[in-house]
Amino acid sequence: LAKTTQPISMDSYEGQEVNITCSHNNIATNDYITWYQQFPSQGPRFIIQGYKTKVTNEVASLFIPADRKSSTLSLPRVSLSDTAVYYCLVGEAPGGGSYIPTFGRGTSLIVHP
């Protein structure tokens, strides 16, 4: 399994763009990069997934360089409600195969007024 490394915590202010970087130096050819968001006392929820280059949806953007050894989750103009823990996962998808979703400690983002 590809091991991921993220900052433990980050602070930001309302209206700013937040970029959270995840390192995954031993990512495999078939691996995708998936980010989840978790609010206190709730289960994580899927935010975005990508394989290479850039992916954007209504919540976030995901930037993946050509070597795929890292990825950056970008949250535009954060609000207080974006305060949460963000997890980066690496593994096979779609189809799943033998992929076992493994969460690290994630990055705790606190957005200040």
Partner 1 sequence: DADVTQTPRNRITKTGKRIMLECSQTKGHDRMYWYRQDPGLGLRLIYYSFDVKDINKGEISDGYSVSRQAQAKFSLSLESAIPNQTALYFCATSDSGGPTGELFFGEGSRLTVL
Q: Is 104 in the site for partner 1 (CB under 8 A)?
A: yes
Whether the CB-CB separation of 23 and 17 falls below 8 Å is answered with no
Q: Note whether 113 binds partner 1 by CB under 8 A.
A: no
Residue 77, CA distances (Å) to 25, 68, 90 in order: 29, 26, 26
Q: Does 93 bind partner 1 (CB under 8 A)?
A: yes
Q: Does 66 bind partner 1 (CB under 8 A)?
A: no
One character per residue 3-42, x = contact with partner 1 (rule: CB under 8 A) = -----------------------------x-x-x----xx
Torsion of CA 53, 71, 50, 86, to 10 degrees: -150
CB 98 within 8 A of CB 43: no
Interacting residues with partner 1 (CB under 8 A): 32, 34, 36, 41-46, 49, 85, 87, 91-97, 99-106
